[in-house]
Amino acid sequence: EDTGEYSCDTGDQETRAALTVTALPVLFQKQLKDEEAEEGATVKFQCELTKDNAAVEWRKGTMELFPCAKYEIKLSGRTAELVIHNAEPEDA
């Protein structure tokens, strides 16, 4: 968001320069870990990113997951968390 044209103006003269900021990629600081749970349990998957509040998507296989009664999706600073409520065998 800092990319753009900047200027300095004295009233009689003006100088301009362009700033281009290249965004660094978001990387995983801490990876997801395998979990085992009993039916009916609450399961939490958590990973840590290299950037605060980076956009993430949660997926089960190829299906994107969205917040609902079953899935709770949290993003706090650099920590992304998926909570699966009432785990069932189909959630494996």
- Asked, for residue 15, whether it belongs to a domain, the answer is no
Mean pLDDT of 20-27: 94
- Residue 71 placed within a domain: yes
Looking at residue 45, which CATH number applies to its domain?
2.60.40.10
Single pTM value for the model: 0.77
pLDDT digits (tens, 9 = 90+) for 59-91: 999 999 999 999 999 999 999 999 999 999 999
Answer yes or no: is 4 within a domain: no
* CB-CB contact of 75 with 29 (8 Å): no
In a domain, 14, yes or no: no
For the chain, the average pLDDT equals 96
- Structure confidence at residue 9 as a pLDDT band (50, 70, 90): very high
The reply to whether 38 falls in a domain is yes
Looking at residue 11, its pLDDT comes to 93
**Which residue segment(s) compose the domain that 38 sits in?**
28-84
The structural domain count of the chain equals: 1
Q: pLDDT category, 26, cuts 50, 70, 90?
A: very high
Instruction: Give CA–CA dist 67/70, Å, rounded.
Output: 8
